[in-house]
């Protein structure tokens, strides 16, 4: 009766009185005795109430991504700032090729008006598996918050520029902080209200009461706004996604560690340099051009001419330096020298086209020799989708986030199917399986065997960019392809030590913890001993069997 008048949150005493009226009616009707009425009427109200918040619940990054993605309007170049024309290109491609992008504005109700995601009572069914989503969130949070962050905080105590790398000067740090101030909400509000630059500077350097994020809950404290910016930047960020390589169904999507405080989505929103995780794409181009995993290449540092300038790639490891090595060994050990050699034998323009075929949509990728080491910026979602090619016989499948949409009457108004394209031949894909399993069985991802004790077939690739700015791991089984990025908000926020900053330490364990949890759940249909479906008797080196300097058995030891 009149829920607004008797709102237990706003009017608890009025509501209590109304409750007692109802109890008295029950007593008069014989449903309660006098003693029961007296007992219940004397009790206080018990209310378990909290406001519904889109920041709470499962997969908040995915839900926000879908809200923005589905309500997007047809791209209009005049609405994009001059520095972000690249996004206009990406959005234009999505508008034409992806039925989900802008769905609310590309589909119409019976009255001819577009759908409203907030008001029309639509039911959007995602492909997310709630169990796997929970495992992914636990894996990301457990590794980053409980292991990496304490180690990063410990290292920062020794840095005068913390959390920025010691390789920066004070002037460079100040320039980064000045940009951060200009991008802050406090600056925009003060500027809009007519504050002078001097007033803004003074405000940012005046201690203020505020609540800040910690991994143990929000903390009420006092600090200057400029220090709070530096404080927030001291937390490492991460992105993780897992999908089915056959259907494209996205099973888990973790855009960050805490949506309330770090809303920037590092799965689809952020793009970072991919480093050595780009190398399998280069090797697949080589396989398409007649190479095999057992072909030999010089593991030697050489200087190449790039745009009229000498370019000499470096290696962090000098293992087998100066020797002839197989391509399989070169990828397993992530040799930059072997990758540069391959790039010199192939077409950079052809490589760029192949990257686009893999679903890497960044239009700013430039054809050059150095592209073989992964300086281009790519999202986690694009990388995971690209790696489905290796687990799916050369066919890449785009991420499928939504399976169907129903209206408020339960009518299905949209269904979504996998979007696929052939990137490389099945033979080349099988050769790449052999090489990428080599990365796990005896290369940079070897700890998946000797530390985490995985037994089934796994392909993967670690990646670490210059100065440890970005750490990656891409891993896949016959049934799941997953990828992870870990780094700082800025590229100059990172571990200075290679031991901690490399992809095998920063990102690979997240994949391992996630898959361990998935395999332990018997209700999930994933087999820890699954094998890739390589053709019976498949020999990746058959074309060179008579000409190989080393026997095949020796190569695979």
Q: How high is the pLDDT of residue 543? A: 63
* Residues in CB range of 337: below 8 A, 6 or more apart: 298, 299, 300, 301, 302, 313, 315
C-beta of residue 548 within 8 angstroms of C-beta of residue 325:
no
Distance CA 309, CA 209 (A): 53
* Residues in CB range of 413: below 8 A, 6 or more apart: 107, 115, 122, 405, 406, 407
Q: For 293-310, how does the pLDDT look when each residue is reduced to its tens digit (9 = 90+)?
A: 999 999 999 999 888 889
Confidence of residue 46 (pLDDT cuts 50, 70, 90): confident
- Reply yes or no on whether the pLDDT at 147 is more than 50: yes
Mean pLDDT, range 183-205, rounded to an integer = 96
Residue 404 tokens, joined:
């169907």
C-beta of residue 213 within 8 angstroms of C-beta of residue 205:
no
Distance CA 358, CA 352 (A): 10
Share of residues in the chain with pLDDT > 90 (%): 87
Distance CA 344, CA 187 (A): 49
**First CA to last CA across the chain, in angstroms?**
79
C-beta of residue 156 within 8 angstroms of C-beta of residue 163:
yes
Q: How high is the pLDDT of residue 7? A: 85
Confidence of residue 207 (pLDDT cuts 50, 70, 90): very high
Work out the mean pLDDT of the chain and round it to a whole number.
Answer: 93
Confidence of residue 11 (pLDDT cuts 50, 70, 90): confident
3-state per-residue secondary structure call for 191-229? HHCCCCHHHHHHHHCCCEEEEECCCCCCEEEEECHHHHH
C-beta of residue 126 within 8 angstroms of C-beta of residue 501:
no
Q: How far is CA 20 from the centre of its chain?
A: 54
Mean pLDDT, range 383-398, rounded to an integer = 98
Q: How high is the pLDDT of residue 545? A: 42
C-beta of residue 328 within 8 angstroms of C-beta of residue 432:
no
Mean pLDDT, range 353-357, rounded to an integer = 97
Q: How high is the pLDDT of residue 317? A: 87
Q: How high is the pLDDT of residue 86? A: 85
Instruction: State how far the alpha carbon of 315 is from the alpha carbons of 318, 330, 438, in Å.
Output: 7, 12, 19
Distance CA 359, CA 385 (A): 7
Confidence of residue 52 (pLDDT cuts 50, 70, 90): low
Q: How high is the pLDDT of residue 114? A: 96
- Reply yes or no on whether the pLDDT at 552 is more than 80: no
- Reply yes or no on whether the pLDDT at 542 is more than 80: no
Confidence of residue 376 (pLDDT cuts 50, 70, 90): very high
- Reply yes or no on whether the pLDDT at 118 is more than 70: yes
Q: How far is CA 25 from the centre of its chain?
A: 59
Q: How high is the pLDDT of residue 517? A: 98
Q: For 67-110, how does the pLDDT look when each residue is reduced to its tens digit (9 = 90+)?
A: 999 999 999 999 999 888 888 999 999 999 999 999 999 999 99
Distance CA 16, CA 207 (A): 45
Q: Before 513, cis peptide (omega within 30)?
A: no
| Burial of 552 per CB tally in 10 Å (0-12, 13-18, 19+) | middle
Q: How high is the pLDDT of residue 134? A: 98
Phi/psi of residue 250, nearest 5 degrees:
-80, 120
Please report the DSSP string for 124-176 in residue order: EEE---HHHHHHHHHHHHHHIIIIIHHHHHHHHTT-TTTTS-TTS-HHHHHHH
Q: How high is the pLDDT of residue 551? A: 34
Q: How high is the pLDDT of residue 556? A: 30
User: Which sign, positive or negative, has the C-alpha torsion 423, 429, 435, 441?
Assistant: positive
Confidence of residue 427 (pLDDT cuts 50, 70, 90): very high
| Domains in the chain with CATH codes | 237-555 (3.40.710.10)
C-beta of residue 460 within 8 angstroms of C-beta of residue 444:
no
Mean pLDDT, range 114-119, rounded to an integer = 94
Only one residue has tokens 């697949």, namely 284
Distance CA 208, CA 191 (A): 19
Mean pLDDT, range 234-245, rounded to an integer = 98
Confidence of residue 49 (pLDDT cuts 50, 70, 90): confident
pTM for the whole structure: 0.88
Question: Of the candidates 459, 437, 468, which has an alpha carbon nearest to the alpha carbon of residue 511?
Answer: 459
Q: How high is the pLDDT of residue 413? A: 96
Residue 300 tokens, joined:
């030697």
Mean pLDDT, range 451-468, rounded to an integer = 97
Q: How high is the pLDDT of residue 8? A: 86
- Reply yes or no on whether the pLDDT at 485 is more than 70: yes
Q: Describe the crossing of helices 279-288 and 426-442 by its angle, rounded to 10 degrees.
A: 140
């Amino acid at each position: 009766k009149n829920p607004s008048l008797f709102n237990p949150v706003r009017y608890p005493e009025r509501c209590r009185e109304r409750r007692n009226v109802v109890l008295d009616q029950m007593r008069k009707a014989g449903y309660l005795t006098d003693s029961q009425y007296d007992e219940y009427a004397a009790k206080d109200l018990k209310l378990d109430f909290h406001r519904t918040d889109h920041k709470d619940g499962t997969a908040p990054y995915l839900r926000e991504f879908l809200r923005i993605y589905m309500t997007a309007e047809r791209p209009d170049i005049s609405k994009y700032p001059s520095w972000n024309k690249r996004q206009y290109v990406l959005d234009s491609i999505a508008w034409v090729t992806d039925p989900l992008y802008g769905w609310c504005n590309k589909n119409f109700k019976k009255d001819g008006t577009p759908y409203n995601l907030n008001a029309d009572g639509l039911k959007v069914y995602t492909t997310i598996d709630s169990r796997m989503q929970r495992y992914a969130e636990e894996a990301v949070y457990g590794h980053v918050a409980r292991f990496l962050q304490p180690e990063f905080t410990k290292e920062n105590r020794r840095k005068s520029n913390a959390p920025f790398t010691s390789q920066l000067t004070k002037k460079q740090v100040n320039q980064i902080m000045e940009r951060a101030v200009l991008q802050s909400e406090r600056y925009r509000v003060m500027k809009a209200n007519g504050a002078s630059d001097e007033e803004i500077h003074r405000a940012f350097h005046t201690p203020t009461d505020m609540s800040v994020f910690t991994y143990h809950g929000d903390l009420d404290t006092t600090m200057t706004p400029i220090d709070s910016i530096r404080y927030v930047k001291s937390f490492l960020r991460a992105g993780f996604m897992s999908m089915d390589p056959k259907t494209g169904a996205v099973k888990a999507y973790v855009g960050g560690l805490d949506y309330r405080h770090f809303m920037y989505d590092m799965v689809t929103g952020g793009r970072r340099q991919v480093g050595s995780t780009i190398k399998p794409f280069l090797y697949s181009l080589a396989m398409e051009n007649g190479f095999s995993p057992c072909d030999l290449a010089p593991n030697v540092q050489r200087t190449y001419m790039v745009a009229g300038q000498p370019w000499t790639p470096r290696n962090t490891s000098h293992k087998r330096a100066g020797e002839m090595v197989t391509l399989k060994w070169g990828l397993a050990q992530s040799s930059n020298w072997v990758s540069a050699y391959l790039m010199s034998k192939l077409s950079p323009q052809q490589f760029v086209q192949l990257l686009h075929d893999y679903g890497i949509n960044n239009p700013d990728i430039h054809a050059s020799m150095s592209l073989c080491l992964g300086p281009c910026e790519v999202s986690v979602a694009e990388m995971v989708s690209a790696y489905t090619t290796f687990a799916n016989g050369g066919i890449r499948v785009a991420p499928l986030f939504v399976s169907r949409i129903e209206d408020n009457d339960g009518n299905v108004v949209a269904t979504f199917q996998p979007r696929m394209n052939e990137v490389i031949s099945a033979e080349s894909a099988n050769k790449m399986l052999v090489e990428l399993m080599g990365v796990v069985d005896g290369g940079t991802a070897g700890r998946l065997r000797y530390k985490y004790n995985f037994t089934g077939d796994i392909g993967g690739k670690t990646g670490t960019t210059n100065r440890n700015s970005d750490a990656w791991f891409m891993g896949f089984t016959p049934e799941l392809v997953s990828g992870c990025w870990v780094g700082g908000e800025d590229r100059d926020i990172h571990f200075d030590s290679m031991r901690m900053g490399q992809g095998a330490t920063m990102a690979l364990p997240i994949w391992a913890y996630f898959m361990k949890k998935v395999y332990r759940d018997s209700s999930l249909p994933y087999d820890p001993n699954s094998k890739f479906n390589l053709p019976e008797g498949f020999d990746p080196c058959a074309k060179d069997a008579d000409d190989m300097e080393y026997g095949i058995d020796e190569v695979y030891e």
